[in-house]
Structure 1
């Protein structure tokens, strides 16, 4: 990755802090100079980029408004850069279970690595859903069916609730009618959840807090995430084996049905398209990913 370094026009971090304090207190405002972004062409990891920027400039880039977004983009464009670059925004990731379980098996995960999960796409995916036993981080506001449990944390009995709710509403429902959203601590329990959910994508109890920060300690409030894109897994069962799922008319019909399902789940006004395989086809057998 390339790097964008960020600094105030001053010779040291101490001067930068002093000038900011002057600006905020109304003193010597004429001495407060705008920030500058500096494009660094060396490919580095985020941690190495942070270290480099702190040693050479002030820190990785902080972006606090739309004007600074334009300035950052202009800096990258003027350097003839078309690849992705690091900035100073980061998140401390700490997954936890809804019921607070921290014992043996609390760190069990079964992410869908074939889809690069968890991918935290668009910066809004703080809750976890299970689909055919594979886990995805997902937007907590999306309405899905969900898995609750009764019994004990060590000997749970899982229950599919056939209602579409956001993660927080599902959590509340489980706590009022069962014990909590499902805590899954091993492969056997994950298989039980899979059997209960069948082909449905369903909430489980794993989630995390945002914990989003800027490298230089600035408060995180402004956001400019890319438009959210989410893969949706879909299984098609054919009653007529002669139907060609890759026929354009069939694919168009299925897309409309998928849009209806997404709308029912709280996702209205979305753009849906098929993900093609290397051979140009969408469907391989009776299973595909959208």
Structure 2
């Protein structure tokens, strides 16, 4: 008898997909306790910054009939202005009058204008910048007319010189201001940044996709440095020592493997399935992936596991 060739599909192999979903834990904990729990049993506290994320939160909350606030992974990371170079504190500043330097809704970076005054702007804006060359002959400040985001300017300064410029006193501020006038530029990045909110799983904060609830963040108690989420998916800030339920993110890796099985006669499906499961579990064990992993069969539209692709 001429062999028959069958194809079957099981989870684990040629095609890798990472699936994320949210888990609601209704036992109240502080933000730090909640983060530790999520890292131990799942992945991390939930990162919520897209319409899809908010819809998933709504689904999980509705299924649990949950209508309350719960911790998620946003936290107040760096809440003072600092210099890029050696992460220094500000011993000198020259902010413009009435300049808003305390925004709690997005990451802000500092620039100097040709008035000599410092201003804030979104770090994603494209601007020329000053690099710090160090105390060498020819001056310590290097102006670069290329318009880059603050982060890209920082990378270039660190690659070519030392870092973005630090301004330590009024004489250095005047020197930078004079350079701006000489090159006929109105403003440029300096090494100031204030990165307020971060995700606990180290995801990049995409500010255009973050949705705050009305009136949030308000820092009502003066020490609200952790983020919570409503059942609607909208977020706010609260004191980290308060105890709330919380959302964790769980990540599941799914791998699909295609097998071609040749049979010289009648195909005993159960025997083949048992043999393949044994082999796949051995592969999982060899790759140290056996903990929490399992083999699942994909059923074809006709209700069969195996598909007969060739028969003579």
**Shorter-chain TM-score tier:** 0.3 to 0.5
Structure 1 length-normalised TM? 0.42
Structure 2 length-normalised TM? 0.39
- Who wins on radius of gyration, i.e. which is larger? 2
